[in-house]
């Protein structure tokens, strides 16, 4: 970046830090939203005297809201702009978490959690889109990893807060406290400029230049970037049309959907949303349940670093193979121990350890990699559409897993439920072999060319 106006270097640096902070906060909110309900469940169940079925509704209503939110986010952010969508979702997040805290009945809690879900669905789609549009090229990759890592940190922080409030059984505080980071996020996004790309899309190139001049601190760069965006927009992003007309694009969208279905059927959100319940069923008292859950959260954070460190060295496919093997073994052993009845303390501890092994397996593989692959495999012209469809699938999948876990436990038994998920993971080894491309070190252009030439999906990275 050349130095012409003021101190553009320092300004650009401040800007990058600010955008990174926003990325971090958006990921944190995502994670808080996921993590917050697990510790609150048993107290909610006691206070409202509800069945497991109703509890499932309370847990999964948020995921339902998020699926709807993600499905509407493309339209929202196209119509009102990225910034206003983010402001809307942050405000709804604050309102939703406060409404959860004051819920007076199971039904009102469900309504509040749907609102919270809508908020996170919109944010989960819009934040990465905004970041990709506004970040300088060389910062984009780092920003995506930050976002991923912050999701797991958000979950961990929510587990810690649940642990702290569990001593007083204050489930309302557990659910309400996340309004604070939400408010911080709201303040943060209010200070953001609108996305230059969206401004150009709306024919407001002069405004886009003004924004970019401030962001990059250099007139020439700003003018050039606006010209680049204008040129890019000559090839319009008509994802839906491309989807109807182009079989190859349908293949990549289908693969994105499958990848997210696979990610959810690993069973990770059984643990993220119901960990204390699992530990309760293993025979542990409340305080031990909460401590183990916090350890699950920490394990999830730490193992994500393995993926960040190795994904560009080992490649996607080997990491996925390893992950599915570890997950299948982890859950298989948990199921077997539950089948055997876990008579001794040692067996119970082994079950906890194997559940942690499962979390490690997910966090270094399918967790971050599915998101990475979902954005790498879509051709430029349909990228927003393709990523939108897979993001919605992620939440629909989470919803199905969250809405059925307790029913599975009660109808089929603990061992059978964990074996079922273990079997899914074993099957995903085959899925990886048959369909997942190796995209390590390949340019997106090359992947796109291979896809459009009709190469088999697993070979579009070669
Ligand atoms: C998944 C979420 C999950 C989280 C756990 C993400 O990659 O999409 O559904 O709760 O990982 O860390």
Q: How far is the CA of 68 from the centre of ligand 1 (A)?
A: 18
Sign of CA dihedral 205, 208, 214, 218: negative
Two tokens, residue 159 = 């587990």
Q: Where are the domains of the chain?
A: 11-192, 239-462
pLDDT for position 143: 64
For the ranges 7-21, 114-128, 297-311, 375-389, the lowest mean pLDDT is seen at 7-21
Nearest-atom index, ligand 1, CA of 394: 8
Residue 4 has pLDDT above 50, yes or no: no
The best mutation among 117, 155, 367, 374 to test binding of ligand 1, ranked by most ligand atoms within 8 Å of the C-beta, falls on 367
Residue 431 has a pLDDT of 97
Gap between the Cα atoms of 328 and 424, Å rounded:
8
pLDDT: is 20 or 416 the higher one?
Answer: 416
Ligand 1 mean position, distance from CA 329 (Å):
20
| Per-residue pLDDT, 365 | 92
Residue with CA at minimum distance from ligand 1 atom 1: 367
Written out in words, the top-level CATH class of the domain with range 239-462 is mainly alpha
For the CA of 269, the closest atom of ligand 1 is 10
pLDDT at 16: 66
More confident residue, 234 or 414: 414
DSSP string, 138-165: GGHHHHHHHHHHHHHHHHHHHHHHHHHH
Burial (Cβ within 10 Å: 0-12, 13-18, ≥19) of residue 177? buried
Is 282 within 8 Å of 294 (Cβ atoms)? no
Ligand 1, residue 398: give the atom nearest the CA.
9
Report the distance separating Cα 27 and Cα 322, nearest Å. Answer: 26
Q: How confident is the model at residue 219 (pLDDT cuts 50, 70, 90)?
A: confident
Residue owning tokens 């408010």: 183
Tell me the two tokens of residue 317.
């496919």
- The answer to whether the CB of 154 is under 6 A from ligand 1 is no
pTM over 0.85: yes
pLDDT for 116 beyond 80: yes
Give 366 Cα–ligand 1 centroid separation in angstroms.
9
Answer yes or no: is pLDDT of 437 > 90: yes
How far apart are alpha carbons 322 and 399 in whole angstroms?
Answer: 26
Residue 394 Cβ inside 6 Å of ligand 1? The answer reads yes
Q: Which of 77-86, 320-329, 436-445 has the highest mean pLDDT?
A: 320-329
Answer for the pair 65, 121: CB distance below 8 angstroms, yes or no: yes
CA distance 46 to 459: 53
Our mutation pick for probing the ligand 1 site, out of 27, 34, 273, counting the most ligand atoms within 8 A of Cβ, is 34
Rounded mean pLDDT of the chain?
Answer: 89
Question: Residue 137: what pLDDT?
Answer: 59
How far apart are the C-alpha atoms of 155 and 273, rounded to whole Å?
10
Angle separating helix axes 366-376 and 345-363, nearest 10 degrees: 20
Mean pLDDT of 318-330: 97
Residue 249 near residue 385 (C-beta atoms within 8 A): no
Those residues with Cβ within 8 angstroms of residue 300's Cβ, 6 or more apart along the chain or in another chain: 152, 155, 156, 272, 359, 362, 363, 367
Instruction: Looking at 246-382, list the stretches that DSSP marks H as alpha helix, in order from N- to C-terminal side.
Output: 247-265, 268-281, 286-314, 316-340, 345-363, 366-376
Q: What is the mean pLDDT of residues 89-93?
A: 95
Judge if the beta carbon of residue 372 lies within 6 A of ligand 1.
Answer: no
Q: Inform me whether the pLDDT recorded for 3 exceeds 50.
A: no
- pLDDT digits 0-9 by tens, 170-199: 999 999 999 999 999 999 889 888 888 888
Give the pLDDT band of residue 388 (cuts 50, 70, 90).
confident
Taking only the tens place, the pLDDT of each residue in 268-290 is: 999 999 999 999 999 999 999 99
DSSP 6: S
Q: What is the architecture of the domain spanning 11-192?
A: Up-down Bundle (1.20)
300 lines ligand 1 (CB under 6 A): yes
The verdict on the CB of residue 326 being under 6 Å from ligand 1 is no
Task: Name, of 29-33, 58-62, 370-374, the range with top average pLDDT.
Answer: 58-62
Across the range 291-309, mean pLDDT stands at: 92
C-alpha to C-alpha distances, 220 to 104, 196, 199, 248, nearest whole angstrom: 58, 15, 18, 39
- The residue nearest atom 3 of ligand 1, judged by CA position, is 269
Sign, CA torsion 131/134/136/137: positive
Q: What pLDDT score was predicted for residue 234?
A: 73
Say if residues 309 and 407 touch (Cβ distance below 8 Å).
no
Per-residue pLDDT reduced to its tens digit, 226-260: 888 888 777 666 788 889 999 999 999 999 999 99
Residues 6+ apart with CB under 8 A from 174: 36, 39, 40, 158, 161, 162, 165, 166
């Amino acid at each position: 970046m050349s130095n012409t106006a003021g101190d553009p270097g320092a300004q650009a640096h401040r800007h990058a830090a600010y955008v990174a902070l926003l990325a971090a906060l958006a990921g944190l909110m995502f994670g808080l939203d996921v993590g917050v309900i697990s510790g609150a469940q048993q107290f909610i169940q006691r206070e409202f005297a509800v069945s497991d079925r109703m509890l499932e509704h309370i847990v999964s209503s948020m995921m339902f809201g998020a699926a709807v939110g993600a499905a509407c986010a493309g339209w929202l952010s196209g119509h009102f702009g990225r910034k206003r969508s983010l402001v809307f979702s942050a405000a709804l997040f604050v309102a939703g978490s406060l409404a959860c805290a004051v819920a007076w009945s199971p039904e009102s809690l469900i309504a509040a959690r749907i609102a919270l879900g809508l908020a996170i669905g919109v944010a989960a789609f819009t934040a990465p889109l905004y970041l990709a549009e506004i970040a300088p090229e060389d910062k984009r990759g780092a920003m995506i990893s930050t976002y991923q890592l912050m999701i797991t940190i958000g979950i961990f922080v929510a587990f810690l807060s649940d642990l702290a409030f569990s001593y007083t059984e204050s489930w309302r505080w557990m659910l309400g406290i996340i309004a604070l980071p939400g408010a911080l996020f709201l303040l943060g996004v209010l200070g953001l400029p609108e996305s230059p790309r969206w401004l150009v899309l709306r024919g407001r190139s002069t405004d886009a230049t003004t924004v970019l001049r401030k962001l990059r601190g250099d007139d020439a760069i700003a003018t050039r970037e606006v010209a680049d965006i204008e040129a890019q927009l000559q090839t319009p992003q008509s994802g839906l049309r491309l989807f109807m007309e182009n079989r190859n694009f349908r293949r990549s969208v289908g693969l994105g959907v499958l990848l997210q279905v696979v990610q959810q059927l690993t069973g990770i959100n059984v643990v993220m949303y119901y960990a204390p319940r699992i530990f309760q069923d293993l025979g542990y008292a409340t305080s031990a349940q909460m401590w183990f859950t916090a350890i699950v959260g920490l394990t999830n954070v730490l193992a994500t670093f393995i993926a960040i460190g190795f994904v560009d060295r080992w490649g996607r496919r080997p990491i996925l193979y390893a992950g599915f093997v570890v997950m299948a073994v982890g859950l298989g052993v948990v199921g077997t121990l539950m089948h055997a009845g876990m008579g001794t303390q040692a067996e119970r501890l082994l079950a906890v350890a194997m559940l942690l092994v499962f979390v490690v397996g997910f966090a270094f593989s399918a967790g971050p990699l599915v998101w990475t692959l979902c954005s790498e495999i879509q051709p430029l012209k349909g990228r927003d559409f393709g990523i939108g469809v897979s993001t919605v699938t992620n939440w629909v999948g989470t919803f199905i897993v969250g809405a059925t876990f307790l029913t599975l436990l009660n109808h089929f038994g603990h061992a059978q439920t964990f074996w079922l998920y273990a079997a899914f993971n074993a099957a995903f080894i085959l899925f990886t072999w048959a369909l997942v491309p190796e995209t390590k070190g390949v340019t997106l252009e090359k992947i796109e060319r291979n896809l459009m030439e009709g190469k088999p999906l697993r070979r579009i990275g070669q």
